[in-house]
Amino acid sequence: MIVSWNWLKEYVRLDMSVSELERRLMMAGLNHEETSDVGGDLAIDLEVTSNRPDCLGHLGVAREVAVLFERELKLPPIAAAESGPPAESLSSVSIEAPQLCPRYTARLIQGVQLGPSPAWLVRRLATIGIAAINNVVDVTNYVLMECGQPLHAFDLAKLAGPRIVVRRARGGERIVAIDHRAYDLAADDCVIADAARAVAVGGVMGGADTEVTLATRDLLIESAAFDPLAIRNTARRLNLHSASSFRFERGLDPEGVDWASRRACHLILELAGGTLAAGVLDAGRQPPPREPLVLRLSQLKRILGIDIPADRVRAILAALGNRETRHDAQTVEVVPPSWRGDLAREIDLVEEVARIHGYEHIPEDVSVPMAASARRDEDRVLDRVREALVGGGFDEAYTLSLVEEDMSAAFSPWTETDALVAHMPILRRADRLRRSLVPSLLAARHANESLSNPTIELFEIAHVYLPRGDSLPDEQLMLAITTGADFHALKGVIEAILTRLNRHKILEVAPHPLPLVEAGRSCKLSVDGTLLGFLGEVSEDGLRRFDLRGHATVAEIKLSVLLELAELVPRYEKQPAFPAVSRDLNLVVDEGVRWEAIASAVRAAGGTLLENLAYQDTYRDPHRLGAGKKSLLLSITLRDPAGTLTSQKADQVCEQIVSDCRRELGAELRA
């Protein structure tokens, strides 16, 4: 926001130095960028944060100066005589999209004489970088930069009806804006229309068909309130940004709509003549009254660490425009002004008192009591996941949520619905909200290979966006992993994560075909019958698709499942009092029998005496074992919690395991 020094003096006495003004404004939250001399005036560039749209006009900055330096604020005069016919007899206003435009006002002036603006107005606009056009357009720009409320002037004779209809854009509708470029409108865009067509993009820019020219004699002055999110979406989609859209996106003073309209009419009558119609065309709803806020004076000491006298607190709040409704020795209750939409909680009032009283008055060594907040369970689980992966030699990756279409289509195990398309891609062609993290990690793997990094072990924790019709996407937090090791190694990593969270849970594996993944080397992962994720080795076609030279294995896990099963409270378990017995079993099975089936049979047969089961090795030799056979070596640990487990009992358990594996899987104990 560029502020003119001479213009600012119209509203508040400036008897301080420029540097002192800049310093005080900066300490109060309006950071100073630079000051430059423009034609004998000073252009002061201030950074206005998005929560302070009230300072996007000279009056708002003047209000801050008046409070900081304890000066009187002088509001400009408004004395526009309504000597014309009733406004209702000349035009009408209706709102068909109240969600996009809650309020729209119009005033009408007949018989204006357009021409150049006076020198004082030209100089004011030139200081802040706005070129003069004519006395009517210059007035709308002047009032915009004075109070922050955007306005627009229509040539009334060019409006069909003449009437104003605020509605959503229709399918295939286009408009030529006053920048003389054509824009294709969407159904979510708010348009200002007459009886025949759209004449402006609501809150963004007017249309060329109804713009004011030197031949204009009758005006319709628009002042309205628009939904901030709708304006932001329209401006970004059309890549059409203006001083008006910049302010509407941040939310404006709802009571400033009528004030700005009357102020503009006052100046137009003064500079261009004409007759103002009686009354105003006002459609929509009036702004609701603000709810009072209570400030407990004890909170100032607790939060700021210093005592501020109650009278000083009340004076600061009143100077900022808050209307005091009651006070006592402990509290002050106020109703915030309409232009301060950011004042919604008690802590907001604490901050206001602090910045006006002066942060420099708070000693650096002041004691402020603080208490640590409790960490969320989600954060504690994610910490354990990261610890397990980093301890296993993995590095965490951060990639973009938007990917190119071919990357999005390469791997999507969670849904077959087409990915959502973003209208504002982060990178060229990267316009799909990703449905999986795996393609992004494989792209990161390729980038590391191109830099000849010898070890590429990566994981990422981020959201994927699964489409679900017309509703917002289902945002799922996922963990994706890629490694240069094989299927079994990555499965072991996932088992280590599971053990880190809940050592009693067992990872269940079942064959499942996946895109990009080698046939027979992919599976889905479950815990207690709940789908956890997918795992597989990337196929040759997959490696070529991502231009990878080396072997790659990938996995993707739904973290919500890990959050549910995690045991975050440590539990005491009594150490076993009796010794364990270990046995090795070498089972010969058909080639098609998977380890998961054998492990399940062993656990069922071992029952409560089975303490641990571990895979050791696989052996294949058609001459010794026979064609289509393999030998699996496994180790088991047996323990009886009630007494010493005898060798005889251990042998019985082993015989039961072999018997069950023979019956269910055709396994034989290798001699």
Comma-separated ranges of CATH 3.30.930.10 domains in the chain: 377-565
What is 87-284's CATH number, 3.30.750.24, 3.50.40.10, 3.10.290.10, 3.40.1390.10? 3.50.40.10
Extract the runs of DSSP E, i.e. beta strands, from 13-131. Answer: 31-38, 41-47, 93-95, 103-110
Fold of 377-565: BirA Bifunctional Protein; domain 2 (3.30.930)
- Report whether 355 contacts 29 (CB < 8 A): yes
163: DSSP letter: -
Exposure string over 617-634, b if 16+ CB within 10 A, otherwise e:
eeeeeeeebeeebbbbeb
- DSSP per residue over 383-420, as a string? HHHHHHHHHTT-EE----SEE-HHHHHH--SS--SPPP
- Report whether 134 contacts 115 (CB < 8 A): yes
The torsion defined by the Cα of 156, 159, 160 and 161, in degrees rounded to 10, comes to: -40
Exposure string over 388-410, b if 16+ CB within 10 A, otherwise e:
bbeebebeebebebbbbeebbeb
Instruction: Supply the CATH classification number for the domain 581-669.
Output: 3.30.70.380
Residue (of 282, 280, 284, 283) closest to 86 by Cα position: 280
- In the block, tokens 């009517």 appear at 136
| Triad 211, 213, 215: Cα angle to 5° | 130
**Mean pLDDT (10-residue bins), the chain, 671 residues:** 96 96 94 94 95 96 96 91 94 96 97 96 96 96 97 96 95 92 94 95 95 96 96 93 95 95 96 96 92 95 90 96 95 96 95 93 74 85 96 95 92 93 82 95 95 94 92 93 94 94 91 89 94 95 94 96 91 87 94 90 93 92 91 95 92 94 93 73
Residue (of 161, 149, 190, 157) closest to 173 by Cα position: 190
Q: What is the reported pLDDT for 366?
A: 66
Tell whether the torsion through CA atoms of 181, 182, 183 and 185 is positive or negative. Answer: positive
Peptide bond into 254 cis (omega under 30): no
Q: What is the reported pLDDT for 369?
A: 67
Comma-separated ranges of CATH 3.30.70.380 domains in the chain: 581-669
How many CA atoms, within 13 angstroms, populate the side-chain half-sphere of residue 374? 3
- Report whether 54 contacts 253 (CB < 8 A): yes
Helix/strand/coil for 589: strand
Q: Class of 2-68 per CATH?
A: alpha beta
- Report whether 355 contacts 370 (CB < 8 A): no
The torsion defined by the Cα of 403, 407, 412 and 418, in degrees rounded to 10, comes to: 70
Q: What is the reported pLDDT for 368?
A: 65
Comma-separated ranges of CATH 3.30.56.10 domains in the chain: 2-68, 293-360
Q: Class of 293-360 per CATH?
A: alpha beta
Q: What is the reported pLDDT for 14?
A: 96
